[in-house]
Structure 1
C-alpha cells in the first residue's frame, strides 16, 4: 500500500511540477499569502454553516472563564476572516492574532458585522511566538483550523499556557489525520497531503494535534474525536474541546 501511495504522490507532483518549481524559487509563497484570504473567506461561509451546531456547543460557555465579574479577555490565534466572532458572548474583548497581514480587510468586515464584541487590535505574529501578548493576560485562547499549518504545535501550546491566566482555558477545533488506517479518507490524505500543503498555505491533513495537546500539561482536558459533518470529507476527522491551565 505504501508503494502505491508513493507512486500516486509522485504522479501528482509531476502534474503540478511548475508549481513545485515556483515554490522552490520562493515565488509561490507570497502569491499564496495574498490569495489565501480570498479562499478562506469563501470556505468560512460553507464551514460555518456545516459546523454551526458544533461551534455553538463548543463556545456556549466561554463566559464561565471570565475572571471574577470582569469582561472575558479572549485571544484568537489565526483569526483569519473572523469566522468565530458571531459565536462569542456579548461584551467579550477580543484580541486578534494572525501571521498573514492580508487578512486585515476581511477581518475588519467581520468586526463591523459583529458589534456585540469589543476588539483590542490585530497583531501580526505567529502563534508559536506571540511576544506582543503579555503573560497571564487572557481568560481564553481560541484556535480553530490553525494547528494544521503550524510547523511547531508544542511551541504554540507553550505560548498558550504562558498568556493564559491560571484557570484560563484553551479552546480548539482542528481537522486532524484520520486514525482509521483502512479508510479511504486515510488513503486520500496520504496521497494528496504534499500537494495540499503546497496550495493551502502549509496546511497538513496529517497532523496528530491531539497528541501535542495531551502532552502539553494542562490541568484539565476535554477532547473529543469526531467526524465533522462537512462536505470536504478528507478533512472531516476533527478534534474538538478545551483545556484548562
Structure 2
C-alpha cells in the first residue's frame, strides 16, 4: 500500500555509512561559515551516495496554515527581493485549495501513522538537531506538518516559524510546540509553500527540512529560498530520501512506481537526486551523510546533514 504521508510505512533502523572526505572550499567561502556551528557529518556528496535501496511509501507536503508574525521580518505580499513570486499566489499555484475534509484527513493521517517512523528515527534526529541547541535562536521549518521535529530543537529558541501548505496541520503543530516547551508567542504557523517563503531576506539562523524536497514543485527554487532567508553563516538541516543507484532493481521499481506515488502521496517523487541538488545549490559548505535502512526496506536510501550558508 502506498500511504499518503511521509515515509510512514515499515522504516527500519539506520545503518551508519562509511565516511568520505569533505571537498575543499575556498577561503572566502570558509569565512562565511559561522564557527559556532560544529559540522555534524563531513561528507563529500557523490551521486553514488544516492544509492542502495529504494523508497515508494514516502511523501511530504506542499501545504500550510495561517498567519504572519512579529520578531522576525515577514515578507510583504508584493515585496521586491530576490524572489519575485508572491507567497499567496505561489501557494494557490503550487497547492490549489483542497476540500476541507481532505486536508483534515491528511493532517490526521500524518499525525497518526508517522509514530512508528518517528520512534525508529528518534536517536538519529536527536544527534542531528543537537547541533542547533544553544547555537541558534530563530528557526524556520519548511514542511513542518504536525511538528514531529519540534521536540528536538525548540527548547531554547527565541522564535520558530513553521511553514506548511496544509492549513489543517496547524492545530497539530501548535500542540507539538506546546509539548516541546515552546511558548505560544514564540511559535508561528504560516500557510505557504517552500518555493515562496513569506519571510524577509537573512531573517533566520537556521532552516530545517525533513522529507520535504521529495514533494515540492521546484527543488532548486526551494533551495534558493532557503538560502535567501538564512542569515550569513546560517545553516540548513536536512533529511531526505533519494533515488536508488542507477541500474539497480530498486531504481527500476522506483521509476515504475513514481507516477503512481506522485498521484497518491501528494506529489512525492521517488527518483530525485536531492543530495546533489543540495550540494549544487550554492551553499558555502555542505556536510552530507548517507543512511541505509535494514531488511530491504522500501525507504532506502536517506541523505542527511547540514549545509552552511
Deviation of residue 220 (structure 1)? 1.0
Indicate conservation of the 8 Å contact 1:65/1:140, yes or no.
no
Q: Judging changes above 3 Å, is the alpha-carbon distance between structure 1 residues 31 and 176 closer, same or farther for their aligned structure 2 residues? A: farther
Contact 2:167-2:191 within 8 A present in 1 as well: yes
The 3-state SS of whatever aligns with 1:63 is coil
Question: Partner of 1:226 in structure 2?
Answer: 291
Partner of 1:120: 187
2 CA distance for matches of 1:27 and 1:135? Answer: 27
1:186 to 229, 251, 261: 251
Higher relative contact order (CA 8 A, sep 6+): 2
Which consecutive residues of structure 1, in runs of 5 or more, have no partner in the other structure?
A: 1-25, 67-71
Residue 186 (structure 1) shift: 2.2
Paired position in structure 1 for 2:299? 235
Aligned twin of 1:48: 118
Q: What is the aligned residue count?
A: 212
Counterpart-to-counterpart distance in 1, 2:271 and 2:99: 21
Q: In 1, distance between residues paired with 2:200 and 2:166?
A: 21
**Structure-1-length-normalised TM-score:** 0.79
User: Does the CA-based 8 Å contact 1:33-1:201 persist in structure 2?
Assistant: no
1:232: Cα distance to partner?
Answer: 8.8
Q: Which secondary structure state, in structure 1, belongs to the residue aligned with residue 114 of structure 2? A: helix
> Is residue 177–residue 187 contact of structure 2 (8 Å, CA) maintained in 1?
no
Q: Which runs of 5+ in 2 are unaligned?
A: 1-95
Question: Aligned to 2:109, which of 30, 39, 60?
Answer: 39
Distance 1:65 1:153, change over 3 A: farther
Q: 1:73 aligns with which of 117, 138, 154?
A: 138
CA distance in 2, matches of 1:96, 1:47: 21
Q: Contact 1:188–1:234 (CA<8 Å) still a contact in 2?
A: no
Q: Could you say what the CA RMSD is over the residues aligned between the two structures, in angstroms?
A: 2.3
Work out whether 1:170 is the aligned partner of 2:170.
no
Match of 2:273 among 202, 205, 208: 208
Matched, 1:91 2:156: yes
Aligned partner of residue 214 in structure 2, secondary structure: helix
